[in-house]
Structure 1
Amino acid sequence: MRKKILSATIFLLIASLQLTHAQTPLFGRDSTVTGTQTFALIMGISKYQHVRPLSFADKDAEMFRDYLKSPGGGSVKDGNIYCLLNEQASSINFWTKGFQWLKSKKLQKGDKLFIYLAGHGDAIDEDQFFFLSYDCNPQGDKNNYLVAGTIQLFNLKKKIADETGKGVEVVFVMDACRTNELPGGQEGQSFLNSAVSEAKAGEIIMLAAAAGEESLEDASIGNGHGLFTWYLVNGLTGVADSITTPDNQVTLEEIQKYVSKNVPAVAQQQFRRKQDPFFCCNEQSDKVISKVNTSYLQQWLNDQKKSKRGPGNSFEGVMTYRQRRNINADTSLIESYNLFNRAISSNRISGNNSAEYYFQQMSKRFPGTPYTLDAKSSLAVEFISAAQKKVDRFLACGDNLSAKEKQENYQAAIKLQQAIELVREDDPLYAQSLMNRVYFLKASGDFGPNGTNGNTSDAFSNAFAALRIDRNGAYIHARLAQLHLQNNNLDSAYYYADKATKIAPKWPCAFTILAQIKKQQQQKNPDNSNTKKPKLPGKNSIGFTIGGGLAHDVPVFVRDANSPFLGVTGNNNPAFDLGIIYQAGVGGMVDIRPTVQVVFDGGDLVYERPPTSGVQFETIKLENISVNAYVPLIFRLSKNRIAPFVMLGPGFNFILSQDKNSRTNIPVKRGVVLGDLGLGVDIGIKKAGIILSPEIKYTRGLTNQYRDGGTIYTNALSSLKKQGFTFHLYIRKK
């Protein structure tokens, strides 16, 4: 019996020791604290894996974290701070583990949340702006940011809006834009801060620099820090408290004035540079950001010259000793959790005795525990990281498309789908953002034994599915080029490779693929050294149209001795229509555009009688609801984004209803043939992924419209044909 007790004691001791060194589960809100609490999600990166490193961004993040933990920052507990630095600061950890941690804290009205980011930032344009995580690998071209491991700030703003909508006070601090030596260049830095400052989500915003400016960092600033963060922490500690009326509180207005006074002055005097921090918003100027602890403030002022030099590689947001002591967990759960972590450390992610195996056991036996939830997010991180490495390999032109690599890509896509299901409940937006990678990896062309993974058609379908998500993804166009090349469709391969080079002109891999295609074209046509760039027919696309204008019926009067009329004329009437279109390329610069419209129109026929008859002019109103079907040809005059065109073709008008009065006097035929001629221009709107086509159109009836009803009105006509001038707007997908 003693041996059993001793064995159990040793096991529990070993398990607890392992927990202190392995990953630890993330526990929820501290229920022993009543009232509101403060939380922080912090990220700082100096040691970038693929882009130019920085010097002090990690130390800035550590300083901001240490400020929050200090009496000056409110003595925020370790368990309320999630801090990712350098190698830990991947986009996957941020979105998957960081926001699972935040969800577990169950933030409520009145809580305060600091989100602090220090590192590189860049942008593609004013709508697509990013904070660059440790593993970001754009391969020299900004257009790869969407798939290269970044934190898309638009999505982060949505997260912030979710919290502010609950009444949480969010303070978003970003000390980025530290260099123009990124793929986005000066323009990207300008886009970044202007976009972040304009995309408000109810939070307080503090940015290190205005649009187009760099955020300075130097060893001389606080013994090695960023200029903005140094003065921000200095001010929040208490230095920004009003000198004339100190009240031991620092408001947004006070910290803004303090930082905005000192940062530009030091930047100009010591570095001959321009840096103007940005704060928002003035309506919250009285909001208290920090409460001053006078004794800590004095200590801070005394220690300013002894700033900490940390390694810049910590990872916070785990259990404290007290939390561990209070855990009442099943020993078999702890054992499974430790086995899970050992499998992760040994890179045994799937298969027998793997991390996936132990997670499945934990999910069945211990669902919903902090250990199981942490294992869930950790496994998702491993699956997403493996898939991202495959994408990064392709971006670096390392994908040789061997049978083995195709199979590995496909399997990575399957595991990524599993990861998406693991994170979807906690973060559906992030889960959805990963789908383009799933389709991209499945488009490698691996069909498995006996085609169990699909066929060539499935590979193309997956590539086009990825393209629907990211229409300007150069990497997807490059993959389509490779697929066409594998199937010996050289013209199509050239088209997509050429497009990839235009979307991402600084990405070497696109040009490598294009060169391979040119080489094969030359081998296939050795006598044609000046092979012209082939053009694919226009893409098939669906859309809708709306239009209006003037329409009238054109009558031809027949004078008869028995006729009571001297003549007939037609008047203009407004016409309105709406419908759907389908445009398809038929070759070269010619498209066909079948169109179906519902038309509301009519016309006035004015019959003139002799003056002696009493009523000299009698008006017959023709009011119809009809359906028009057109099959015109579109002759495009340019291949540019803005391209004029000529439209010409037949149409058919089918009357659905005619008003009772005109039907009695002038019955019309159910269907007539029309002819259309139009001039318009296609305008490609890149960001929206649509083509807008305004068009002016002339329509003329080619067949007679009225039926001989034997009335005095029809007897006075030899023909009655439609005519109209209308303006139409066509909107369709690219």
Structure 2
Amino acid sequence: MSSGLRIANLTTACVFGLLLTAGGVLAQAPAAPDGTKSRDIQLKRRESSNPTDIKIPRGYAVVIGVSEYQKIDPAQNLAFPVSDAQSFYRALISQNGGGLPAENVHLLTGQNATLGNIRHEIEVWLPSVAKDSDTVVVYFAGHGLSAGKRGYLAPWDVDPNSFDTTAYPMDTLASVLADKVHANWKMIVVDACHSGKVMPGSTAESLNRQVGKASKGLLTFTATREREESFEDPKLGAGAGLFTYFLVQGLQGNADKPPCDGFITADELIDYVEKNVSQYASGRNRSQHPTALGDFDGSVALGRSTVCPSPVTSTAQDSGSLVVEVNMDGVDVYLDGKLVKKINKNTPLSIPGLAGGSHVIVGVHEGYDPDTKEVVVLPGVKKGVSLRIRYASEHPKKAQALLDRGEALLYHRSSSLNVAAIYSKSRQTNDDLKKAREFFEAALKEDPRFAKAAYDLGQTCTLLSDSKAALAAYKEALHIDPSYVEARVQYAGQLIETGEAAQAVSELNEAARLEPRNDEVLAQLARAYLDDDAWQEAAKAAQSALAIRDSNEEAVLWRGVAYRQLAAAEKNPPARAQLSGHARDDFQRFLKMTNFSSPIYSQA
């Protein structure tokens, strides 16, 4: 289609829903004058509390995404569920978003999203951690199946020939959250496309009925009205379902209405998603209207925001959009410091749903100076932005000479997070490092756009134990070049050393997004998760690193540490013994790989 949208037909319609338990009842539509009564359930919002009393409750989440299936015809695989789940996960753990600790969010994607793992996370883990005052989120993106009046979510290992025993029933999910998970607010985000070709007899209406049935006692936020089509757009950001895209955009701050108070409330998020999905679809001659049903306190805070509209838009009710074009292929486009997508010169990038006010757009291409534009987004206005990558990254000779002199004094270690490097003897003196620092500072003064000089300055300050200066230097390197993965990894390392593990996790997730096949990044992500007490996520990150390069000794070590922590928390003796055995094997393997001996690890 000319619009670039891929529309689901009536037999492959996608059902998107956000269901929140708020401990209330759903209001039924009043009787009509003739005595008839609508079967629709109307939205009943409780009176909002004082906005100055807003605070975000503690939360836990399970995020699931499946694009490709083990036993389903490959022709029925989906495009965006895994990336949508990852986007929602990043939004939940971002400080400018849901603000949840990484250890409180468990991510299952692809082959890890088996029926057994899904059951464990929802039916065992969530009930064991959630308390009455908490918020609980369950997100699923993938295929949905339905038969008769019962709907199912399809895990990676679902068997279409026996889906009633290999898929996860929606009514089971609803009953577990209602009866076993003790939390004040419960959210289920379902982004499930189902297909009659996958399971004969599946229809949009039957799955909608099941979602509606599961919505008793819940606030339901669905992507469409009854019988409307839902769609996804490969040109929207990096490609996404409309509902999930705007849900993430809103949670990351764009839903914060003037006056900007720094919080995203339920009312704000719902209004933002409803308006932007319908406007975006309408602009492409399509009809899609998210609908909210339920009984809830609209002032409950669901996320934090640092996006504040400028005074010129202080009374604006609508968001605006940007269309970014570039002059060469392979340009990474960043919006307010976050990577949106790599685009080519003939494929403009649409970024809708932006809060009114000032935003910074940066185009980055390796080997060239980045182009930065600050633009003001106006409500209801689509604004074009042209990024021009023109100049090769050639630095003044004096700046380059200063860098070379500094690097001659600087002994490079592969990473400030490298375990063996911590105990290795430095070949520089403090005087050498202080001189190197002066050279790098002088190089930056000569050329403020010299990202390598900022990076080397960070390395030097790290070795001089000046954490504050190192953080500032790495941050400057990333400001100059947001795609500088090594700088992002080292910045995360300093964050870990200064006790900011949660922020380090966020930075390393971004680095992994930039270079998903970089095993060193994934190994450092495992380390960050460990410092953030997210043992399961640490083990998964380390395993992902080893799947790419089996000889990554740091990944072996961090996986062993994660297994040891999981064993300490495990109550089942056989499972605890198995985890302890895995930890012991990894520690022994690490020692053989590195010839490294330390009392810290030899006792394991």
TM-score past 0.5 threshold: no
Larger radius of gyration, structure 1 or 2? Answer: 1
- TM bucket (normalised to shorter chain) is 0.3 to 0.5
The structure with the largest strand share of the pair is 1
State the TM-score, normalizing by the size of structure 1.
0.36
- Structure with bigger RCO (C-alpha 8 Å, 6+ apart): 2
State the TM-score, normalizing by the size of structure 2.
0.43
